[in-house]
Amino acid sequence: MQRLRSTPRVFAGPRGRQPDRTGRCAGGRSCRRPLAGVFTALAPSASGERYVVCKNAIDHGACNWAVPVSDDTPFCRACRLDEIIPNLSSDHAVEAWLRVERAKRRLVYTLLELGLNVESRRERPSGGLGFAFKEDVGGARVMTGHDEGLITLNLAEADTPFREKLREQMGEAYRTLLGHFRHEIGHYYWDRLIRGSSYVEAFRAEFGDESASYDEALKRHYENGAPPDWPERFVSAYASMHPWEDWAESWAHYLHMVDTLGTARSYGLALQPDAGGGTSRTSLSELKVTTRNLHFDDFDDLLKGWVPLTVALNSLNRSMGHADVYPFVLSATAIRKLRFAHDVIENAARDGSRLASRPEDDHRPSPQ
Ligand SMILES: [Zn+2]
Ligand SMILES: [Zn+2]
């Protein structure tokens, strides 16, 4: 980690005036001067918590979040989770790291929005979360994965041609940095929310027995591939490998849903398909949705918005000659698994294991 060299820049802002996803204060007036990297309260009477720009923003332009000056670390809620960052002596490594941090901030943003517990392993030595971003050295390949709260990512995944080539080789429909993070964090929250809990029985009924040998499942998957009927039972081919992977894939998919729908809601997106589009009237009425009206604590409501939104997004992408942004079809079984992930998160809120501090306690513009 880099040492703090710059003088912290401090601003004071009124409580409750947090930026929305466009970076504007709830009061409608911009509170951020991006070029200067300084947050400034425009109201002369501003008082309340004082913030400093995250150290990774000051040193490397690698972040756009802020930290309360009362915190005992100069790193924001996302950056303080880093345990190993790449050697930044090359421009290539810096660029790759910035892409990784951008994806990680979006992950953390969603986790905090959902009210999940996000603490570093320094803050919570037993059960905390950490990230290690490493490069292959010599013949030693860095494996992306999760182990006891530490999520390791091979920095090469930030290289689009490398990642795209791997996606094709593995026959995957979707492979992104954000997708990696959302998958690996699913393993982390399995440990935190399900392992040894009253969910285990229900988990096994839905996903299968996770005590089955992982090594054997891995070998079987890479030798034989996914079973032919996987689309009827799993959200992805990889999910069919082992109940843990099924959970991580379902969890990641749920995060795709809530973040994309949240963004659509922040833009007030409404879909009202035109009857001239060649689709039958019945299915058109099912595709109507106003994202501002969605209730995010109601899974059926989320699903009602999700399907029309993905149909529209895929159509827009095709209009530009791009691949589908959402290359998935959800079976009834896969939807049940998403509902399970939703219920686990919602119940975590009710039983008090949600964060001590809610998102409004921190100052986070939407990840860029
Ligand atoms: Zn930061
Ligand atoms: Zn996994």
Which ligand approaches the C-alpha of residue 78 most closely?
Answer: 1
Going from the Cα of 30 to the center of ligand 1, the distance in angstroms, rounded, reads 20
Q: How far does the centroid of ligand 2 lie from the alpha carbon of residue 220, in Å? A: 15
Confidence of residue 272 (pLDDT cuts 50, 70, 90): confident
Residue 8 pLDDT greater than 50, yes or no: no
For residue 239, how far is its CA from the centre of ligand 2 (angstroms)?
9
d(CA 134, ligand 1 centre) in Å: 19
Strands (E), 204-275: 270-271
* pLDDT score for 330: 95
Ligand in closest contact with the CA of 238: 2
Q: What is the pLDDT of residue 25?
A: 37
- CA–centroid distance, 135 to ligand 1, in Å, is 21
**183 CA distance to ligand 2 middle (Å):** 6
Cα of 232 vs centre of ligand 1, distance in Å, is: 41
The residue type at 78:
A
The alpha carbon of 366 and the centre of ligand 2 are apart by a number of angstroms equal to 27
**Which of 97, 111, 109 is CA-nearest to residue 153?**
97
Whose atoms come closest to the Cα of 244: which ligand? 2
Distance of CA 115 from the midpoint of ligand 2 (Å): 23
Please answer whether residues 313 and 319 qualify as being in contact, where contact means their C-beta atoms are separated by less than 8 angstroms: no
DSSP of 122-176, one letter per residue? Answer: TT-TTT-BEEEEE--BTTBPPPPEEETTEEEEEGGGGSHHHHHHHHHHHT-S---
Asked if 82 and 97 touch (Cβ cutoff 8 Å), the reply is: no
Task: Please list, residue by residue across 203-218, b when 16 or more beta carbons sit within 10 angstroms of its beta carbon and e when fewer do.
Answer: beebbbebeeeeeebe
Kindly tell me if the per-residue pLDDT of 84 is higher than 60: yes
- What are the tens digits of pLDDT across the range 334-347? 999 999 999 999 99
Mean pLDDT to the nearest integer, 48-66: 92
Nearest ligand, CA 364:
1
Q: What is the pLDDT of residue 185?
A: 98
Instruction: Compute CA distances 231 → 126, 171, 335, 348, 356, whole Å.
Output: 37, 14, 12, 29, 39
Task: Provide the CA 254 distance to its chain's centre, in angstroms.
Answer: 10
Task: Tell me how far the alpha carbon of residue 298 lies from the centroid of ligand 1, in angstroms.
Answer: 32
**Shortest-distance ligand to the CA of residue 180:** 2
DSSP string, 24-43: BBTTSSB-EETTTTEE---S
**Among candidates 128, 59, 136, 132, which has minimal Cα distance to 100?**
132
CB 271 within 8 A of CB 288: yes
Distance of CA 32 to the CA centre of its chain: 24
Say which DSSP state 194 is in.
I
SS3 270: strand
Lowest model confidence (mean pLDDT) among 118-127, 240-249, 260-269, 349-358: 349-358
| Average pLDDT rounded to a whole number, residues 132-142 | 92
Specify the long-range contacts of residues 82-89, CB closer than 8 Å, at least 24 apart. Answer: 82/1, 82/130, 82/131, 82/133, 83/121, 83/130, 83/131, 83/132, 83/150, 84/131, 84/132, 84/133, 84/134, 85/1, 85/133, 86/133, 86/134, 86/135, 86/155, 87/135, 88/2, 88/60
Q: Is 90 exceeded by the pLDDT of residue 35? A: no
Q: What angle do CA 80, 82, 88 make, to 5 degrees?
A: 120
The residues placing their C-beta within 5 Å of ligand 1, an ion, are: 54, 56, 63, 65, 76, 79
Q: Give the pLDDT confidence score for residue 128 in this predicted structure.
A: 96
Write the pLDDT tens digit of every residue in 149-204. Answer: 999 999 999 999 999 999 999 889 999 999 999 999 999 999 999 999 999 999 99
Give the residue-averaged pLDDT of 277-287. Answer: 63
Give me the pLDDT at residue 188, please.
98
The answer on pLDDT for 14 being more than 60 is no
